[in-house]
Structure 1
Amino acid sequence: MTSRLSRIPRSDALDNRERILEAARALFATEGLNVPLREVARRADVGPATLYRHFPTKEILATEAFADQMRVCHDVVDGGLADPDPWHGFCSVIERICELHARDRGFTAAFVSTFPRAVDFTAGRDYALRAIAELAGRAKEAGNLRHDFVLDDLVLMLMANNGIQATSTAARVAASRRFAAFVIQAFQAAPEQAPLPPVARLALVLPGMTL
């Protein structure tokens, strides 16, 4: 009985783990993956040793911190695959993936990075990419997606989307929606001049500057 109880995490250990994850999600979302683990520990109000006891590497911490985002990502691509119109499904994936990544800068960095010690995250990313590749193939067969589209273009899109600098998360999401509209037109076999989403105020654009 004593041996079995010793293997059950204490409530304070569970509390520490949740605080670390909460701090990591907040910092990764706003600052990206370059945040030092020491800062994560400080935000979580735990010592570095406690953090490393729960998460020996940043890869393991990121895998746990982004588990919910990865599940949402899977739901997005599964929804696209289920759409009877492959082009509509493909566009929906682009729009929703851009917004998901715009809300969390760290998730984009993790998604496009190679985490050799984070097997679960790599598997989840590979699943999403394979699903998008299948959806892209269907959209090409339907004649809607340009024939020279490759998955590297998707990664390039995510990296560009991650580079959006805005004054707030809401502004970044609004800018991301407009960016996604541009990208969809670029990916379309016969681009249509569809109306774009509203312009978002970005950090590098000064008031009064117009074209």
Structure 2
Amino acid sequence: MTDRLPHTVRSDARDNRARILDAARAVFGEEGLSAPMRDVARQAGVGPATLYRHFPTKQALIVETFAEQRRACQAAVHDALADPDPWHGFRSLIERICELHAHSRGFADAFMTAFPEAMDFTADRERTSRAVAELARRAQETGELRRGFVVDDLTLMLMAHRGLQATPRAARLTASRRFAAYVIEAFRAAPETGAPTPLPPAPRLQLTHSPGTP
């Protein structure tokens, strides 16, 4: 009985940690990083003390919550740089980053927001910026990417893309893919020769009214 107790405690701790991370993905994913820690604890079915025992700070929870998305982002950067066709690699990177951000409002917030204690996301942004700069140089040399493109255009694109987070989840990915397709066409140096690539399907969106408007 005594030998089994430490194992039981460790198992309970692992279960609590897993529940907290699942809850954080759900809460931050839909509400963004402004969601309070108590909402995560409530969703996980644990007390605040248990939450803070596993994750003493919100930044620590954010970094761990989006570890999988960060690895996917790193893989997208690696694959884009390894692509023998720079323009194809550039387009793929834009598409994959948009898709990652569309899946989770929290990851989009974390990627775009400065967290002094969360150096992981700072490194991700810098890595992505370097990859985009190198891909842009190669794609411009092929004549496919317009000469006026600068790395800050990626930030501009992602700032605009964050507006899709207000879109209902069912339509968000569809909207994101169409958004990425339009952005890629804006970055292209010249119109496609031959038949143009079809755009992804258009989502069914409904405009919302501000309070007080008819």
Return the alpha-carbon distance in structure 2 between the equivalents of residues 161 and 69 of structure 1: 17
Contact 2:111 2:124 (C-alpha < 8 Å) held by counterparts: no
In the TM superposition, 1:200-211 aligns within 5 A as 200-204=203-207
Structure 2 residue aligned with 1:166: 167
Return the alpha-carbon distance in structure 2 between the equivalents of residues 122 and 10 of structure 1: 33
Contact 1:87 1:144 (C-alpha < 8 Å) held by counterparts: yes
State yes or no: 1:18 paired with 2:21: no
Return the alpha-carbon distance in structure 2 between the equivalents of residues 61 and 50 of structure 1: 13
Secondary structure at the aligned position of 1:117 is classed as coil
Selected match of 1:196 from 195, 199, 207:
199
Identical residues among aligned pairs (%): 64
Return the alpha-carbon distance in structure 1 between the equivalents of residues 206 and 101 of structure 2: 18
Structure 1 residue aligned with 2:212: none
The runs of at least 4 aligned residues of structure 1 exceeding 6 Å deviation read none
Structure 1 residue aligned with 2:133: 133
In the TM superposition, 1:115-130 aligns within 5 A as 115-130=115-130
In structure 2, the gaps of 5 or more residues are 1-5, 210-214
In structure 1, the gaps of 5 or more residues are 1-5, 207-211
State yes or no: 1:48 paired with 2:51: no
Return the alpha-carbon distance in structure 2 between the equivalents of residues 72 and 31 of structure 1: 21
In the TM superposition, 1:11-160 aligns within 5 A as 11-160=11-160
Return the alpha-carbon distance in structure 2 between the equivalents of residues 196 and 50 of structure 1: 48
Name the TM-score, length of structure 2 as normaliser: 0.86
Write out per-residue CA displacement over residues 70-117 of structure 1, whole angstroms, 9 at most, x where no aligned residue.
111111111111111101110111111111111111111100111111
Q: How many residues align?
A: 199
Return the alpha-carbon distance in structure 1 between the equivalents of residues 78 and 89 of structure 2: 9
The residue type paired with residue 177 of structure 1 is R
The residue type paired with residue 203 of structure 2 is A
Return the alpha-carbon distance in structure 2 between the equivalents of residues 184 and 78 of structure 1: 19
Contact 2:181 2:199 (C-alpha < 8 Å) held by counterparts: yes
The residue type paired with residue 166 of structure 1 is T
Shift of 1:33: 0.8
Secondary structure at the aligned position of 2:161 is classed as helix
Contact 1:108 1:159 (C-alpha < 8 Å) held by counterparts: no
Name the TM-score, length of structure 1 as normaliser: 0.87
Return the alpha-carbon distance in structure 1 between the equivalents of residues 63 and 129 of structure 2: 17
The residue type paired with residue 204 of structure 1 is L
